[in-house]
Structures are given as C-alpha cells and as structure tokens.
Amino acid sequence: MFNKTGNLLLRCSDSPYEYAVSIIMAVYNTELFLAEAVDSIIDQQLDSINNFCACFEHKSYQDIRFSEPVQVILVDDGALDNSGKICDAYAEKYDFITAVHKPNGGVSSARNKGLEYAKGKYLNFIDSDDKFKENALSKMFTYFEANYNKMEIATMPIVFFDAASGNHWLNEKFKKGNRIIDLRSEYNASLLFVNASFFKAELVMPDLRFDETLVTGEDSKFIYTIFLRNNCRFGLVADTEYRYRRRSKGEDSAIQASKLNRNFYFDYLDGFIDWIAAYSKELNGFIPKYVQYVIAQQLQWRFVQDKDAAIAKSVLTDEEFEQYKQHLFDELRFVDDDILLMQKMIFREQKLYMLMKKYNTLPSCEYFDNDANLYYGNSVIGLISSCYTKIDFINIHNDRLTIEGYTMIHGCENPYDTKVFISASSESENTMTECEINHERDQSVYSLGEPIFHSLCFRCTVPLDKLKNKYQFGIFVDFNNHMIQKKDIRFNKFSPINTAYDNSYYAENGWVIKYSKPYLTAVNLFSESASANLTDYEEQFEKAVERKDKNNRRIMNALKLRKKFFAYQSIYHKKKDIWLISDRVNLAGDNGEAFFLYMLEKNDPDVDFYFVINENCPDYERLSEYGKVVIQNSQQHKFLHLMADVIVSAHANEYVIDPFFNDSTTNVFRDIVFRPKYVFLQHG
C-alpha cells in the first residue's frame, strides 16, 4: 500500500502519455466487492511498468515509483449503496486514483465518462466485482510493449472464482501460450470482453465510445469497431488471468433482468448485428468470416433456452414477439453455413433449426443403408441414425420384454406421423414390432416456443422364446418411408442399464440384457448353449468398474456394498420380506408414520420393517422408542434398500425410491436399485 503524497509526477519527455495504463472501473452497487477489485490493482507486481519510460523508446531508463504509471478511474454510476463513498476514500488516499460521480446511466455511459479522464497509453475496463491476478498488469504491459506494432488489443484468460471456479469457455485459444492472432486466418478465435483486455489508447481516442443504447453486446461492438477500422489482430497473454466473480446470489437475476428490457430484443439486433454487418460491408465490401463468426456466436444464445421465449412474451406483445423472431431469423443471412455449424455452444438440433429458418425450407436427404444424411447445399448436418434415443424403462415379465423410452427426430415434414419399430433377431427368425406412441408425453426440444427436435415417446412389448438362446434388439424409425436404425442409444436414470461402465447388464427371470452399440442383447441363461452364468456377468461388470474408477474411494466403497448385496443373495435365503417405510427426510407424522404404527400393531411375522428418517430430527428418537428406525442415507439404509421387497412412503421424492440418486455412485447400482416394489401412501 502507498499513501498519498505531494510528489510531482515524473514523465518521460518523449512520451505523450502520463500513465502506462488507465484502468476505468464502472461502479454500481458493489460495496461488498469493490475494495477487493481496487486492491488487486494497487497490489500489482509492476516491475515492467516501473520501467515505463525505458520501454517506450528503449533508449532511456527512469525509475518512477509505483503510484504514477497506473491511473485508476472509479466511475460511480449513481450507486445506491456505499460504493460511491468507497470510491472517494480510495481517491483521497492514492494520488493515481480518481473518483467520478454521475447519475445512473448504465455500464456503457460510466465507461464513456471514465474515458474523458483517461491519460494512459493503454486502456482497460475491469468490472468492479472482479479482480486481476497479481502479475496481470505487468504481464499485459510487457507483452503489449514488445509487440506494439503487431496487434491492436491484448487479452488474458478469464477464470471464475467465488461461487464458481474453472476456465471460461472462450479460454481454449490460450492453450498454445502467448501468441498473436490474426482473425483473417483464425476467424473462430473471437474476442468478446473488454474487462480482460488492454486497448491502445490511440485507437480509442478521441471518438470511439461504448454504445449506450445497448444492454448487451456493447463490449463486442467496441472491440470489433477497432478490428474493422484497423488490423484485426490481438495478442494472447496466457501466463496471467482475469478473475471473474460468479456471485452466489444476484448474477443470474441480473441477467434475467436484462431480458426484461425491450432493448435486449430489437435494439440489440439493430444496434449490433445489423450494424456490424453493414459496417463490415462499408469498409470491406463483404462480411469477413471473423465477423460472421462473432455474429453466429452472439446469436446462438437466443436459440438455446426456450424459457427465454416466455420471458420475451412477458415483455413483448404477441405481434412484437413474432416480429422479433423474424428479425432474428433474418440475421442468419449474414452467416455462411459452415460458420454456423462451427459453433460450439449449441447442439445439432439448434443448428439445424437455424438453417431451416435461414432458408425457410426443410433440409435435403440422401438415403443409404438404413440411414440418411441431412444437408443444405454442401453442408452436411448429420445422420438421422445419430438423433438420440433414450430408454427409460426395461422390464422382463412372463417371458416378455418391455421397452419404454423416446426417440428424437427432425428434418421431416410430419415428424409426429413417424412410426417407431423394435426389431428382434434370433438365430432362426427376424421380426419387426411396431411400437405404441404416447402423443400426450412430450420430450421435444424447443426454441423460441417452437419444437426443433421432435420426440416420439414409445412403448413396445416383445415375446421372448425360452427355446431361443439369444436375441438382438434394434430401434428403427420409418423416416419418409425409409427404415432407419437409431444408433445413438442412451439410458435415463430409471433404466437398469447404463453406459457409464462397460459390461452393464440387467438380469431378470433367467434373461440377461446388455447393450452393445447399437443393439440391446437378451441372453437366455437357461439355454443349453449358454456360455456364461449370472456370476460371470457380475464379475465382468465389477472388473469394468474397478478399471475405470479404481482410484475413486467413493466408487470403490459402493462396489463393496454391491458385492455384499450379491454375497447375501447367494449365501442367505431371506426368511422375511423387508419393507422400508418413510415420510419426509426430516419429518414424520404423515401417512408413513401412521402405516409404521399400523405395522407395529399388526406384528406380521413374515415382514421385517423399518422406518427411514434423518437422525438429526426430533422424530428419530421418538420413533426409535416404537420400532426399528434406520438413518436416511446411511450404509445400513442403502443396503436394506437393495435387499428390500417393498418401499412404502407418503412422498414420491427421488431419494425415497433411489437413495443413490444424487450421488456419484448411482451407476454402480442402476440394475438393482429399482427392484423393490414402490407403494405410495395417498393422502386423504
């Protein structure tokens, strides 16, 4: 820390700048974090910046003290908390810090106000709840000075802290270390944030300012104005970081609040997307690929979360919402298909939807060998076979296999008329059974209120012949009168099979079901030609778990519990049924307790029953005086659940029917955890 002094500012006579860096911080209601942000600047290890003058011309060296090369401009944007007072306190204490107060006008207006005071060679716009790594200014300054004529902007990786940790998704470009990117050749290495970047003041002054009409996209417009006016090159400084605070409260609500602003919709499309397309054409005669990429990158988020459609409808009239959608679709004409398909934060269904809206037509299809490719022009979207299928339930009863789930489809005119089939192949015959379609259930993926990936929820029952050794089951769809086999099969949480481990299996009534892409296989354990028994399948699964997670103590402990279950199953024969009874996790007194007391009174000699509840609640001790009580989520509870015949509860929460559901060990038990019969005690 450095106290304010009366020392005169020392400058190099040949430099037009009073400071090496001017850091402009827009401040609004961040009293809890502001000091941490400012201190991250004050505490910098500024070896390079202390050699400020020598770096300019490499001719002279003048040792200047810490406080002079860096200018900090704190702009109080009409804060309602104590942020303004904190700004004043820092300005009073340090001669290189200036506090400016203005009526609330938004982050862009605050930054623009700060630019009026900036006197540094480089400019930065740190947010008032974030901070720099200890060496950030030194690293950024040194790299920029060494490469001044080779780039317009320098930027550093963004790393989350506080309520989240890890790297920002745009940090991938830093993997190769410090380097200079030319967007004309590396057009997918976009730059979107001013807070983690340094700018040449000569490219900003005197006229470049942030667009105060935008509530989103203002950073991108500022950055790409510089790129379009100059050479589109920027430097990556990989050996430092900008620390971006993810707040535990308030950040998501602030983002949602911006979506309640009408400017989020039309002004953004007019003020950024239309502007950058027009400005690019004005300067270049065409839209460069790096501009197309940032347009697609910005637009993609508006196609991802359908819940945003409900927010938009609360702000816009029905007519305005349709106008917004059409404007959004029209913006896609600025982006080449290959650029759109390169986007990494959206799935294929969103990309296809965007292309369908761009061309206002369905994709073309090329059929071959039980499959079809979807494409627009020369751009291949993907195979129909790779549209995923999810299996919810698999059950064998009375030599009949029942499969329930849903399969996704897109790219056809009438998706809900598509039929789904289960093929069954044995050593002597092949059959194709049409599935029942449940049109009331909807697992479709939506965007802007429209289904973009249609779900066909199906149920199919196929007979199993005990005289057969083995069956192979495939899932097919009749797509535009072409039979296509689905090859991306996934398993939901209630499915007894999972793909987390090799050799996952489900055994029931003498049959073993396994998945080997893209087929489900049923093996008859009682067949004369059966090459393995149930113990063999279990050993194969246990070895697969050990291979993958041998260093994971939780998984290994779970595997011990599984082995214990199978040991008991093979050695001991239960003399009584096991029933587990419960109400809420921390509270009894509902129908579960009433049924528990009834069972105590009945005293059924064929049933061993337990009440399950958290031990840290008053009802645990009280109920323990009546009968057997088990601690929720204890090892005893989990083992008894696996051994249980019936689960009885007044609540249908997941933790009741699956004590492993919120646990990394759940996939170790998927084939056995749902075996007990579940009985819901209805109220009233």
Mean pLDDT computed over 524-550:
92
C-alpha dihedral (238, 242, 245, 251), degrees to nearest 10: -90
pLDDT for the residue numbered 262: 84
| 366 domain residue, yes or no | no
| 13 domain residue, yes or no | no
Based on the domain organization, do 190 and 216 belong to the same domain? yes
Domain with 77 in it: 19-248
**What percent of the chain has pLDDT above 90?**
79
Read off the pLDDT of residues 296-322 as tens digits, 9 standing for 90 and up: 999 999 998 778 888 999 999 999 999
pLDDT for the residue numbered 527: 85
**Domain end: 320, 344, 368, which one?**
344
Based on the domain organization, do 230 and 278 belong to the same domain? no
Read off the pLDDT of residues 3-42 as tens digits, 9 standing for 90 and up: 443 333 334 446 789 999 999 999 999 999 999 999 999 9
CATH of the domain at 587: 3.40.50.720
| Whole-prediction pTM | 0.83
Q: Is residue 328 classed as helix, strand or coil in its secondary structure? A: helix
| 365 domain residue, yes or no | no
pLDDT for the residue numbered 251: 52
Based on the domain organization, do 522 and 659 belong to the same domain? no
**How far, in whole angstroms, is CA 298 from its chain's centroid?**
16
Based on the domain organization, do 599 and 576 belong to the same domain? yes
| 186 domain residue, yes or no | yes
**Domain end: 228, 248, 268, which one?**
248
Name the pLDDT band for 255 (thresholds 50, 70, 90).
low
Based on the domain organization, do 324 and 416 belong to the same domain? no
Based on the domain organization, do 452 and 532 belong to the same domain? yes
pLDDT for the residue numbered 684: 56
The encoded tokens of residue 423 equal: 């093929």
Based on the domain organization, do 607 and 653 belong to the same domain? yes
CATH of the domain at 409: 2.60.40
pLDDT at residue 1 tops 60: no
Based on the domain organization, do 141 and 228 belong to the same domain? yes
Name the pLDDT band for 528 (thresholds 50, 70, 90).
confident
Domain count, the chain: 4
Read off the pLDDT of residues 581-598 as tens digits, 9 standing for 90 and up: 999 999 999 999 999 999
| 89 domain residue, yes or no | yes
C-alpha dihedral (184, 186, 188, 192), degrees to nearest 10: -70
Read off the pLDDT of residues 169-209 as tens digits, 9 standing for 90 and up: 999 999 999 999 999 999 999 999 999 999 999 999 999 99
Based on the domain organization, do 505 and 404 belong to the same domain? yes
C-alpha dihedral (83, 87, 93, 95), degrees to nearest 10: 170
Residue type, 435: C
- d(Cα 120, Cα 458) in Å, to the nearest integer? 66
| 426 domain residue, yes or no | yes
pLDDT for the residue numbered 51: 52
**Domain end: 207, 227, 248, which one?**
248
- The 8-class DSSP code of residue 273 comes to I
| 375 domain residue, yes or no | no
Cis ω for the linkage preceding 518 (within 30 of 0): yes
pLDDT for the residue numbered 160: 95
CB 267 within 8 A of CB 215: yes
Based on the domain organization, do 58 and 207 belong to the same domain? yes
Based on the domain organization, do 90 and 165 belong to the same domain? yes
- d(Cα 676, Cα 400) in Å, to the nearest integer? 20
Based on the domain organization, do 229 and 331 belong to the same domain? no
| 557 domain residue, yes or no | no
